[in-house]
């Protein structure tokens, strides 16, 4: 049985799947820091380029360490194929741009990470691809947005930063009825807690920069789908335009995958403890956590996610000034714009990741001046909760 076999538990696949051992029989995955490959004869080189014999050609699109990362991700996600990219944004851009031509139309939920929203709203229209942003929670809004030329639906769930949970299976059905494909950015759910392909999505994208690395070291991205989807929409775009993952980053991310389930489980426990400790706090005016029964889409979350979240969103009383007083009073939890790290982190979305939006657009998405996004790290939960409570006392 191959290590990628789905009858192995996810934890086992995360450690073994996709490994390519060299002639030295190394235990840990090898780092192939090479641009290209040599051939014993011109004939062998010709055959390799004609794809009549298997093998690697050039690290812009084929490298053994990157291939191990892609194969391990595909085995974990339950996808037929995967392609790694330099960043999460390169993965999102490839997944969208690879499917459309001038004259096509894309529908996306408006609750998107700032960069993703820019690609949909500002970048695609430059090339004659129209886009419509809708409230992703409203299934009728997806239906109403469909045009004869709609090719792609795009969403993230839970959303960044307000942690809304969109019904992936329902949106996939609407997309397919309209003859469109659904792309899901699964960064906030992580591959441990949500499997969009099993829910009907056609393509899943990750910023591997987040939980997959999980230790704040390097950037990366990955696109996962069926072999046909990857060949039709993704492979040539990445091969010929070159937003490739470096072999070094692939090696770091491979080692990150080995511990992903341990880290994400622990981070989820800590996030749940934080949500529990802060939910009734008098300085908090609103708290959203996908693992809680009071989450606005708790039923959907329970249906499509097998765990809570490593993130908690909450609103500190006193608007931006209150939130800033809270952030500045933290001693252990660090202020940043990133998430999914070994270190617990807090972000003020209105002035960082979603700063580019207008005040009205932010209000529509529940991104108030008081909103804080907390990302659980690997510290002891007691210390993290203690730091947050002490800082809230300063608000
Ligand atoms: C939901 C989501 N998608 C995509 C990205 C982009 O990933 P990267 O920073 O690796 O390009 C991020 C974060 O940056 C994100 O939070």
Q: What is the pLDDT of residues 137-166, one digit of tens each?
A: 999 999 999 999 999 999 999 999 999 999
Confidence grade of residue 100 (pLDDT, cut at 50, 70, 90): very high
* Least confident window among 1-10, 24-33, 150-159, 169-178: 1-10
Nearest alpha carbon to residue 345 among 287, 291, 384: 384
Higher pLDDT residue, 243 or 2? 243
- Counting from 1 in the atom list of ligand 1, the atom nearest the Cα of 91 is 11
Confidence grade of residue 5 (pLDDT, cut at 50, 70, 90): confident
* Ligand 1 binding pocket includes 89 (Cβ within 6 Å): yes
- Residue 20 scores a pLDDT above 80: yes
Helices and strands counted in the chain (H then E): 15, 12
Distance (angstroms) between ligand 1 centre and the Cα of 160 equals 10
Quote the pLDDT of residue 174. Answer: 98
* Ligand 1 binding pocket includes 92 (Cβ within 6 Å): yes
Distance (angstroms) between ligand 1 centre and the Cα of 149 equals 28
Strands (DSSP E) found in 157-239: 181-185, 203-207, 221-225
Q: What is the CA radius of gyration of the chain?
A: 21
Quote the pLDDT of residue 2. Answer: 82
Helix (H) or strand (E) holding 90: helix 88-97
Q: φ and ψ at 383, to 5 degrees? A: -70, -40
Cβ(318)–Cβ(370) under 8 Å?
Answer: yes
The torsion defined by the Cα of 23, 24, 27 and 30, in degrees rounded to 10, comes to -70
Quote the pLDDT of residue 4. Answer: 80
Q: φ and ψ at 129, to 5 degrees? A: -105, 115
**Which mutation among 183, 187, 219 tests ligand 1's pocket best, with the greatest number of atoms within 8 A of CB?**
187
Distance (angstroms) between ligand 1 centre and the Cα of 146 equals 26
Whether the upstream peptide bond of residue 63 has omega within 30° of 0, thus cis, is no
d(CA 383, CA 195): 32
- Residue 352 scores a pLDDT above 90: yes
Q: In what order do the strands lie in the sheet with 311-316?
A: 284-288, 311-316, 371-375, 345-347, 334-335
Structure confidence by residue, pLDDT tens digits, 313-325: 999 999 999 999 9
* Residue 117: strand, helix, or coil: helix
Q: Whose CA is nearest to atom 9 of ligand 1?
A: 88
- Residue 289 scores a pLDDT above 90: yes
This prediction has a pTM of 0.97
Whether the upstream peptide bond of residue 158 has omega within 30° of 0, thus cis, is yes
Cβ(48)–Cβ(39) under 8 Å?
Answer: yes
**Which mutation among 210, 311, 339 tests ligand 1's pocket best, with the greatest number of atoms within 8 A of CB?**
210
* Ligand 1 binding pocket includes 209 (Cβ within 6 Å): yes
* Ligand 1 binding pocket includes 160 (Cβ within 6 Å): yes
- Counting from 1 in the atom list of ligand 1, the atom nearest the Cα of 221 is 10
* Ligand 1 binding pocket includes 207 (Cβ within 6 Å): yes
Distance (angstroms) between ligand 1 centre and the Cα of 191 equals 15
Cα atoms in the 13 Å half-sphere on the side-chain side of 31? 12
Q: Between 381-392 and 247-278, two packed helices, what is the crossing angle to 10 degrees?
A: 60
* Ligand 1 binding pocket includes 185 (Cβ within 6 Å): yes
Cβ(297)–Cβ(137) under 8 Å?
Answer: yes
Distance (angstroms) between ligand 1 centre and the Cα of 382 equals 29
Quote the pLDDT of residue 6. Answer: 84
d(CA 19, CA 32): 13
Distance (angstroms) between ligand 1 centre and the Cα of 207 equals 5
Distance (angstroms) between ligand 1 centre and the Cα of 323 equals 23
Q: Whose CA is nearest to atom 7 of ligand 1?
A: 88
Cβ(318)–Cβ(346) under 8 Å?
Answer: no
Distance (angstroms) between ligand 1 centre and the Cα of 373 equals 15
* Ligand 1 binding pocket includes 88 (Cβ within 6 Å): yes
- Residue 258 scores a pLDDT above 80: yes
Distance (angstroms) between ligand 1 centre and the Cα of 92 equals 9
* Ligand 1 binding pocket includes 187 (Cβ within 6 Å): yes
Quote the pLDDT of residue 207. Answer: 98
Residue carrying structure tokens 């809004």: 141
* Ligand 1 binding pocket includes 316 (Cβ within 6 Å): no
Percent of the chain with pLDDT strictly greater than 90:
96
* Ligand 1 binding pocket includes 156 (Cβ within 6 Å): yes
Quote the pLDDT of residue 385. Answer: 98
- Residue 193 scores a pLDDT above 90: yes
- Counting from 1 in the atom list of ligand 1, the atom nearest the Cα of 337 is 14
User: Beta 221-225 vs 284-288: how paired, if at all?
Assistant: unpaired
- Counting from 1 in the atom list of ligand 1, the atom nearest the Cα of 112 is 1
């Amino acid at each position: 049985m191959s290590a990628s076999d789905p009858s192995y538990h996810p934890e086992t696949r995360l450690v073994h799947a996709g490994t390519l051992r060299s002639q030295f029989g190394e235990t840990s995955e090898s780092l192939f820091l090479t641009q290209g490959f040599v051939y014993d004869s011109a004939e062998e080189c010709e055959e390799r380029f004609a794809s009549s014999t298997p093998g690697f050609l050039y690290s812009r699109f084929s490298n053994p360490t990157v291939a191990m990362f892609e194969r391990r991700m595909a085995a974990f996600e339950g996808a037929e194929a995967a392609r790694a990219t330099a960043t999460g944004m390169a993965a999102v851009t490839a997944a969208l741009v690879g499917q459309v031509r001038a004259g096509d139309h894309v529908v996306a939920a408006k609750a998107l990470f700032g960069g993703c929203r820019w690609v949909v709203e500002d970048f695609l229209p430059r090339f004659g691809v129209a886009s419509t942003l809708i409230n992703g929670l409203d299934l009728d809004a997806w239906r109403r947005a469909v045009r004869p030329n709609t090719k792609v639906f795009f969403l993230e769930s839970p959303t960044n930063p307000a942690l809304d949970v969109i019904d992936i299976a329902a949106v996939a059905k609407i997309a397919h009825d309209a003859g469109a494909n659904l792309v899901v950015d699964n960064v906030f759910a992580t591959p441990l807690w949500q499997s969009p392909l099993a829910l009907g999505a056609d393509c899943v994208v990750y910023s591997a920069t987040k939980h997959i690395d999980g230790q704040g070291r390097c950037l990366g991205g990955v696109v996962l789908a069926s072999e046909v989807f990857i060949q039709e929409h993704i492979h040539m775009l990445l091969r010929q335009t070159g937003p490739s993952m470096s072999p070094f980053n692939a090696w770091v991310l491979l080692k990150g995958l080995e511990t992903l389930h341990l880290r994400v489980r622990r981070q989820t426990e800590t996030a749940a403890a934080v949500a529990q400790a802060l939910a009734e706090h008098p300085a908090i005016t609103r708290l959203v956590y996908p693992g809680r029964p009071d989450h606005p889409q708790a039923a959907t979350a329970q249906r499509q996610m097998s765990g809570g979240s490593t993130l908690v969103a909450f609103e500190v009383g006193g608007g931006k000034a209150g939130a800033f007083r809270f952030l500045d009073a933290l001693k252990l939890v660090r202020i940043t714009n990133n998430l999914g790290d070994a270190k617990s982190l807090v972000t003020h979305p209105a002035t960082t990741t979603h700063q580019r939006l207008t005040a009205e657009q932010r209000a529509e998405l529940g991104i108030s001046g008081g909103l804080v996004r907390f990302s659980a790290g690997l510290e002891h939960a007691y210390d993290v909760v203690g730091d947050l409570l002490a800082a809230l006392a300063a608000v």
